[in-house]
Structure 1
Amino acid sequence: MKTIFTSVSFTLLALIFCSCKSSRSAGQSRGIEHRIPVLLKGDFIDDYGVQYRIDDSVWVQFPQTRYHILLADTVAQYLIARNDKGNPGDQGLYTRIDYMLFDNMRPFLWGFCLTVYNANSMEEAVNKAAADRQNPRDGCNGFPFSRMKKQ
């Protein structure tokens, strides 16, 4: 009886270990991170003259809009954030920020689209259809991606 109990215990522990390990690996392979790509960090100005300060936890669009970054999908190239309660609109709701890198567009290195900025849940923001990166001139809900350059 003791042998069966030990064998069952070992099997259960092995299953738990394997499921935890495979779960972690699946998330990592999808590119889900708590840190945003280095290229997106810093002080920026877009092609409309709006200034930004972006780090791993907060995306600030001056003068008074803040998005608290909850996750970054580095494979699908989007961020999910919660709108600050002090924002002028859509306080406490969720935003999906799709981004893309640019080639041959210096000084603009990357661009972004506020794909959805008023989702009721993080899941709703994640599941929103991605911006059209194949058409950056009108792939952001009919508008161009905002192009970003370092300040």
Structure 2
Amino acid sequence: MIPFDQLPDNARLWSYQADRKLTATEKAWIEEVLPPFLTEWAAHGAKLNAYGAVLGDYHLILVVNEDQANASGCSIDSSVRFIKHLEKELGLSFFNRLKMLVDNGEQEFFTSYAELDKLDRDAMVYNNMVMTVGEWKHSWKVPVSDLVNN
């Protein structure tokens, strides 16, 4: 597994947000099953130069440096199967895009898009639609003010 700080900004990234807080035991289990998946993750038989990690209490990211081999439809399908397996084992969802996770500096909590305009404009919202390491570095967390009309 390539270290995150060695991944180029154009490396492809998938950000998965759990629909509830992960326990320490759940995070440890994910961190145990993640390396074997990443080691075997391949596209058309070519091993992918991949990275994965649990971030904080809600997030899991998968990253592929496509300079070596591109993630293909079948490799993306296998990653979705892996995430679905985690969901089944943990009794949660990583695919619920209707819940937005907000960090107001004191706590993290879920809200809906419709409720964002009721929040402090400086609160940060996790943007799980980022698609590259560069986007993740610069816009994984964005202020509420970027998402609502002033």
Q: Would you tell me which structure has more helix in proportion to its own residues?
A: 2
TM-score range normalised by the length of the shorter chain: under 0.3
TM-score norm. by structure 1 comes to 0.27
Higher normalized contact order (CA 8 Å, seq sep 6+, divided by chain length): 2
Q: Would you tell me which structure has more strand in proportion to its own residues?
A: 1
